[in-house]
């Protein structure tokens, strides 16, 4: 129990704090015009480049330092990729919603692949949480009513596949996926892109 609390729960809590702090930091910097000398595209590429750099650092440190440090690098890297896509769409209108959706979904896939390689539950959960936030952050009124159900089904299938491939440490992933789908699925028909005619 002590190992699980110290090695997993604190890592997951730290990862969530990092992603929230990084998002607030980027929002604060944009609102206070810290980087106005740089074009918006360069700013977004810089955020994404920061994410790639941290993911590379995590890969480099994987066998050299404590696992919690690597999990922290992974958290910053994945969060930066999410934030880069959302910033390009929401703040600067550089890319349309479908492109932002695809980019952020690919960021989640990258995070899950890294979690599988490193065997880190915290990285997998962070990627999964981000993946479930993507349709919330990028909701569009004219979205196809079939996108969200298919997307949630894919997330559940991927989580189950990871748990089957490596029961330890990924056994909790299917439960997390069902919880996320349970929160988002029932409100889908009433949200943007939903179709009330599909409700029995």
Instruction: Express each pLDDT in 36-63 by its tens digit.
Output: 778 889 988 988 998 999 899 888 887 7
pLDDT at 83 over 90: no
For 125-157, the pLDDT digits (tens) are: 888 888 888 888 887 766 677 777 888 888 889
Distance CA 113, CA 105 (A): 12
pLDDT, position 197: 36
Distance between CA 104 and CA 124 in Å, rounded?
15
pLDDT for res 103: 92
Burial of 23-32, coded b for 16+ CB within 10 Å and e otherwise, reads: beebeeebee
- Number of helices (H), then strands (E), belonging to the chain: the values are 9, 0
- Tell me if residue 143 falls in helix, strand or coil: coil
Alpha-carbon torsion angle 127, 54, 70, 159, nearest 10: 20
- pTM, two decimals, is 0.76
SS3 label, residue 23: helix
Q: How much is the pLDDT for 133?
A: 85
- One DSSP character per residue, 158-181 reads HHHHHHHH-HHHHTTHHHHHHHHH
Q: Is the pLDDT of residue 190 over 50?
A: no
pLDDT, residue 185, reads 57
């Amino acid at each position: 129990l002590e190992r699980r609390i110290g090695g997993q729960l604190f890592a997951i809590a730290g990862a969530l704090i990092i992603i929230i702090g990084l998002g607030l930091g980027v929002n604060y910097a944009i609102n206070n015009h810290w980087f106005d000398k740089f074009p918006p595209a360069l700013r977004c590429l810089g955020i994404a480049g920061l994410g790639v750099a941290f993911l590379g650092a995590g890969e480099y440190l994987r066998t050299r330092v404590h696992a919690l440090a690597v999990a922290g690098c992974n958290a910053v890297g994945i969060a930066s990729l999410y934030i880069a896509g959302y910033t390009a769409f929401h703040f600067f209108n550089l890319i349309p919603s479908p492109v932002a959706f695809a980019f952020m979904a690919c960021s989640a896939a990258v995070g899950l692949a890294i979690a599988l390689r490193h065997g880190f539950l915290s990285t997998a959960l962070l990627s999964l949480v981000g993946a479930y936030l993507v349709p919330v952050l990028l909701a569009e009124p004219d979205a196809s009513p079939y996108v969200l159900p298919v997307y949630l089904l894919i997330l559940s299938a991927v989580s189950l596949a990871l748990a089957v491939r490596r029961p330890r440490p990924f056994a909790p992933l299917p439960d997390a996926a069902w919880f996320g789908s349970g929160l988002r699925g029932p409100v889908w028909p009433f949200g943007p892109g939903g179709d009330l005619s599909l409700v029995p």
